[in-house]
Amino acid sequence: MAVAPASLIHPSRIPNRWVQLLAGIVAMMAIANLQYAWTLFTKPIQAHLHVSLVAVQWTFTLFVLLETWLVPFEGYLVDMIGPRFMLGLGSIMVGLGWIGSGGAETIHTLYFWYGVGGVGAGVVYGGAIGNALKWFPDHRGLCVGLTAAAFGIGTATTISPVAHMLKVSGYQHTFIVWGMIQGVVVLASSLFMARPPVGWTPPDWKAKEAKIKAKVNTSAVSMTPWQMLQQPSFYLIYIMMTMLAFGGLVVTAQLNPMASSYHVDNIVVAFGMTALVLAITVDRILNGLTRPFWGWVSDHIGRENSIFIAFILEALAVYALLQLIGHPVWFVALSGLCFFAWGNIFSLFPAITGDLYGNKWATTNYGIVYTAKGVAAAFAGPGAAWLFAKTGSWTKVFWAMIVCDLLAAFMALLWLKPMAARAVRKSEQPSSVVNAAAPVKARGVA
């Protein structure tokens, strides 16, 4: 594994770390529509291209696969080069992804352009999360949660104008206009991003580090990706991430078809919005708020305990939704509760990756863990659509979500928690084979 060179930007030109956190949040909000507004486009695309829902949902799966499976490579480039250049490159692909999709007249052309958007979104997502992991070891759960929250909540600020434009001007015009807007916003945000100088630590780190270790399983070493792949804890984390990502991605991709199946999609509920549009708005807000909330909670009670509590709640919410989905108000409220319990995986799993495997290669390491989302997407998109087409009901899909939630919750508490504690104790032994970088403080970036 190559050693990352010293920071390419002089310390005096590195923006304050809180400014960088804000820039990462804005960039993440700008790419949120690519995933979370997708459900609005499925039916218009079906009608225009004369294809099945399964064929259309392969676009979503391809997007998620490219957004996730390339993040380890993209994260490696961010770790080596820095986030500014990489996020600038990502902004171009994010813009072209929707602009090209707006001009697509065949399903395969749509696959290509939405895939380009997926690559760009992966660069932005991995770069922003990795930067938060590196700059905030003293507030890791909270700050990674705030960054991830922007991806979850970003669509809530734009869903109404996107839905209105889609209705008035058609999905192709909407893709093109919003593709331009999103690309420009990400490009502007990238200008404020820079990685920390090698060995940087936050102010008063030694005192803070002792308090953090009393609450959270935190390793004393930094591991390369190859070293991480040799840890049993990595594979447990990966399986759990796959299982938990599945449920939320089902609701993300299939909320529109589900609402249509239960005849609640066009019922006006409040504020002049239909149950579907209001549900998407509420879902995105709660999907955003859950990430810093559970990140903050996990900073105080530990990552594994937080995963257990959140996904017991998620299983209960999915079961209740299955029983009451035909009622418009309950459809809105319970789909929102599902997202509130689910969205935390995008703060808790990057945080636990940084905790156990260190800061130096945090972007690359979490990029590898993040590919679990791509595995889950294959089941959540066309897989769930196929099961619905086969059975004529969403019931079995809901039960699959419940089982995954319960299994992963107990795996976190009974298996991952003791395994992580043992790994941390081993890392603190003088004979540990992985050496942590000696901290060297840099001024002007706290």
Q: pLDDT tens digit string along 144-195?
A: 999 988 987 887 788 889 989 999 999 999 999 999 999 999 999 999 999 8
Token couple for 128: 């922003």
What average pLDDT does the segment 410-437 reach?
78
Share of the chain above pLDDT 90, in %: 53
312 burial (CB, 10 Å; 0-12 / 13-18 / 19+) is: middle
Please tell me the distance from the alpha carbon of residue 152 to that of residue 85, in angstroms, as a whole number: 24
Among 128, 144, 145, 118, CA closest to 33: 118
Mean pLDDT of the chain: 88
Q: pLDDT tens digit string along 304-331?
A: 999 999 999 999 999 999 999 999 999 9
Predicted TM-score of the model (pTM): 0.78
Specify the pairing of strand 273-274 against strand 268-270: antiparallel
Contact 424, 218 (CB under 8 A): yes
pLDDT at 442: 42
13-427: CATH class: mainly alpha
What average pLDDT does the segment 411-437 reach?
78
